[in-house]
Structures are given as structure tokens and as C-alpha cells.
Chain A
């Protein structure tokens, strides 16, 4: 047995599914240049199947505290939820070094697919109290929303815009191993 600890370079094999209660998918975008505005998608699914990560979220499940804002976000000016009800990420390559991970793949949003790299950390696997195995991944990336055709904006009185183009997407996934 080697006395040095070698960094783990792979993600666990087998099929793992996100526990939706203990996972979240969110976004953050700077509002009026001063504050990050956060929201999320309540309905999503994610799975890691032999090293391939696939995640989807129902656009209509977007959460904000104002029904008028939710309506505007779902309208053709933003997500156009009627025509493009789902956002999707599919990985093509996963690089891991110790706890750090880079997941390369395609993000599809409002009918447009673009390559994105998700970066973050991996924790576990650990044994859960029910005899199963779980591990966590915390991932984020920043996209230019206009590259996906989400380009609504309004001007501020002294210049600048109400909504930034850069949007941070986050996924905090607790993945449970399928029996």
C-alpha cells in the first residue's frame, strides 16, 4: 500500500440520481448594477450515468416572489417557456482532480445550444443512513444570456442597464446511487 494519498481523478461509476429535496438549481444576475438577483428552478432532474452528467430543468418552475415578474420571465421576451419549456445540460467530458471538477458540455436554453464548462467541487461518496451511497457536486458557470437569445433590457437614467448580460448558473446536487 502506498503511503502517499493520490488525488482521485474520476467520478464514481454507475448510475446516480439527484435527490431533488437536497439539491438545487439556481441563477444569479446583477440587477441595476448593484445587487445580485437570485432565482431558481423548482423542478429539475439530474443524473450521472457512468461518467456522463445530464441535467434538465422545467423553465415554468422558475421561482421569483412576484407573479408579474415570473410572467415576464416566462414570456417570449425572456425564456419563451411555451416554445422552449426545458433547459438542459449534457456533459461531454468530466475532469476531476481531487475535490475539484470541471464538467464540459452543452447547455441548451431557449432553443440554442452553446458549449459551457461547469466548475466546482466534489464531496464523497459517503454511506447514507439508509444503506445507500451519496456524493455531492457543486457546480457553477457564467453565461452570456444574449448568446441564448435572452436579450431584454432597459436603460438606467444615468446609463447602464437594468439586467446584466452575465448570468451565473449554479447546481448543487446530492446524487444518490441507484440500486
Chain B
């Protein structure tokens, strides 16, 4: 099965991107990760531009989501909420209603922040947004607080407890995508 990993941070050394790389190492060999890396190029949502010829970056985003069996999204927390660029991408992927790439797509939300709580507010809002957009939000959470202390120089997780939580969340995502895919 294919998991599309989306980091809500555009920063080159993003802890959220590292968290997604760590998740990739914890899943079964038959689960293939694709790391979406074009978030910065998605233009602001404009219904006037959401025609059959949607902007190329949007078309690629929608294709990447539609082609995945499940999504794993790691979000930072900006001003107690979801980064605007991530929200913007979700808005594009949610259209058209009931036929957008996100419709019915299993998704797990995780997150890392340098604060104490791992961006739980942003995660909660992201789940709300995704649920409203019609995605199948899986009940799983990984909140990595003090993210600057949780990865080594090679970007690997140093905390076993977080690694276990991450494995559990990734497995929940694989199961939600369907038992037939978990084995494929």
C-alpha cells in the first residue's frame, strides 16, 4: 500500500518532516511512503482558478493524494493552529465536494513542536478540517513536544516512547486503509 506523507512545515530541517521519515522506518516493508515536497508551490485557493485546468501544482497535489491509499500528515503549530499553507493545500484537495482527492481518504495526524505539548491544538484543528473535508480521520495521535531534543544529528528519533507511539499510529493508518491493503 502507498502512504503519502505530508509535512506542514516548509523548513528544510523541519522536525515534522523528520518525524515522517522516522515513521517510514517503522512500518512494514510492504508499506511504501511517498514524501510530498511541493507544499510551498501550491498557490492560494481561488475558486475562479479551480476549473478543469487547475494550476499544475494543484493538479499534482490532487494526483498524489488520489493515488495514495492513506495520508500521514505531520503539522507544526503556528499561533495555536494549522500553518496556513497546509490549510490551503487541504482546501484545494477537498474540492469538488464529495469528489475531491481527500474524500474518504484515511488520514492520521501527528505533529512536533519545540514547545511542551507537541502542537496538540494544531493537530485537533487539522483533524476538524480534514473531517469536514470528508477524509476518514483515524483516531490516533503522536504529539512530540520539545522536538529539538528528540532527534539526533542524523535526524533519527532518540525517544523510544515516541517511536512506539509513532509505530502504533502508523499501524492504525494501515489498518484503516483496509486489511486487504495492509497485506498487499
Which A residues lie at the B interface, using CB under 8 A? 67-68, 70-72, 74-77, 80, 82, 152
Q: Would you call B103 an interface residue if the criterion is a C-beta within 8 Å of the partner chain's C-beta atoms?
A: yes
> For this complex, into which size category does the number of interface residues on chain B fall?
10 to 19
CB distance from A17 to the nearest CB of B (A): 30
- CB-contacts of B73-106 with A (<8 A): 97-98, 103-104
Which B residues lie at the A interface, using CB under 8 A? 97-98, 103-104, 131-137
Main SS class of interface, B? loop
A-B contact count (CB 8 A): 31
Q: 23 A-B contacts, Cβ less than 8 Å apart? A: A67-B97, A70-B98, A71-B97, A71-B98, A71-B134, A72-B132, A74-B134, A75-B131, A75-B133, A75-B134, A76-B104, A76-B131, A76-B134, A76-B135, A76-B136, A76-B137, A77-B131, A77-B132, A77-B137, A80-B136, A82-B103, A82-B104, A152-B131
B138, closest chain A residue (CB) = A76
A76, closest chain B residue (CB) = B136
A87 to B136, CA, bound (A): 20
A75, closest chain B residue (CB) = B134
A67, closest chain B residue (CB) = B97
A67 to B137, CA, bound (A): 21
Question: Which 8 pairs between the two chains have the least Cβ-Cβ distance?
Answer: A71-B97, A75-B134, A76-B136, A77-B131, A71-B98, A82-B104, A67-B97, A72-B132
